[in-house]
Amino acid sequence: MRVLVTGATGFIGRNLLAVLTADHEVFALTRGEVPDDRQEAHWIEEDLCSLRAASLPAQIDAVVHLAQSRRYREFPDGAADMFAVNVESTFRLLEYARGAGAEIFVLASTGGVYGGSPAPITEDDEIDPVGFYPASKAAAETLASGYDSALATVVLRFFFVYGPGQEKMLVPSLIERVRSGDEIVIDGDPGLRMNPIHVCDAVQAFEPALRLGRSDVFNVAGEEAVSITDLLGVIGQELGTEADVRHTDAEPPGDLVAANRKLKDVLGVTPRISLAEGIRSMLQP
């Protein structure tokens, strides 16, 4: 299968290429420099904000759209970039995929499109994005679903993916703060609950998604539901120290625990890496 992957140098993208290049001809799109480890892919340097279809393969079987705006935390100053990458480029890539003969389009989205929920969230639950970034992802999902008559579209909603090499996101940030002995303030006790998934488990969803042959939506989340306090406990145990935690009286924004039964039953992907093992993998030099 000939597969175009955007966001190929990102955290999930780097790990995905290692999987896809074993069995597919992969065209990896990046707006930065091509990495030294090319992973047997055909590299294309192109900015999604000014995407030229002429720079892409004339024929493709599938598109995996992983790219997201680097300014996803910068609202309102980064809103234009978020819209350009998360929404406008999704439309351009859908049009490209349709014209290049693709049979399937896989869109990486976020569990944040749901908003918080006291119960595990299923794919049938209504979305309720809070904030510009999840709203832009929800818009991209809507665009993708509009192409169902032209090609199959599969949406993967990721929940707190983590693993070695990740920077500035929740889990690596907490690891660094526990290691440094910083006080960590948590709204409520025990705080927000979630079920993170290790990146090596998360990328296993793409291969069956590419072969699904129909449109669908999947939560991609781990097996263990933990609070922020629980997560800090696991990190502290693996570091051989105790996190300095202070709880406030503020209510947490609502849990983001995903039901992952559909991931297991339809795509055949069961997360294997425990949270403790996953944290340990991030601490190795």
How many Å apart are CA 283 and CA 96, to the nearest integer?
41
Any bridge partners for residue 3, and if so which? 26, 62
CB of 199 closer than 8 Å to CB of 243: no
- Helix (H) and strand (E) counts for the chain? 10, 13
Nearest to 27 by CA among 46, 16, 17, 42: 42
Q: Tell me the two tokens of residue 192.
A: 């927000």
Q: Rounded to a whole number, what is the distance in angstroms from the first to the last CA of the chain?
A: 35
Class level of CATH domain 2-161+196-220: alpha beta
Cβ neighbour number for residue 130 with a 10 Å cutoff: 14
Q: How many whole angstroms separate alpha carbon 212 and alpha carbon 207?
A: 9
- Domain residue spans of the chain: 2-161+196-220, 162-194+224-258+273-283
Query: How much is the pLDDT for 31?
Result: 80
Q: What's residue 36's pLDDT?
A: 63
CATH class for the domain made up of 162-194+224-258+273-283: alpha beta
Collapsing DSSP to helix, strand or coil, 16 comes out as: helix
CA 236 to chain centre: 25
Residue 205, CB half-sphere, CA atoms under 13 Å: how many? Answer: 35
pLDDT tens, per residue, the chain with 285 residues: 999 999 999 999 999 999 999 999 999 998 877 766 666 899 999 888 888 888 999 999 999 999 988 887 888 988 999 999 999 999 999 999 999 999 999 999 999 999 889 899 999 999 999 899 999 999 999 999 999 999 999 999 999 999 999 998 999 999 999 999 999 999 999 999 999 999 999 999 999 999 999 999 999 999 999 999 999 999 999 999 999 999 999 887 789 999 999 999 999 999 999 999 999 999 987
* CA 9/CA 34 separation, integer angstroms: 8
19 Cβ contact partners less than 8 Å away, ≥ 6 residues apart? 203, 204, 206, 207
Predicted local distance difference test score (pLDDT) of residue 47:
87
Question: What pLDDT does residue 224 have?
Answer: 97
- Contact between 138 and 90 under an 8 Å Cβ cutoff? The reply is no
What is the rounded distance in angstroms from the CA atom of residue 196 to the CA atom of residue 161?
Answer: 6
User: Which tokens go with 105?
Assistant: 């389009």
Residue 69: the pLDDT is 83
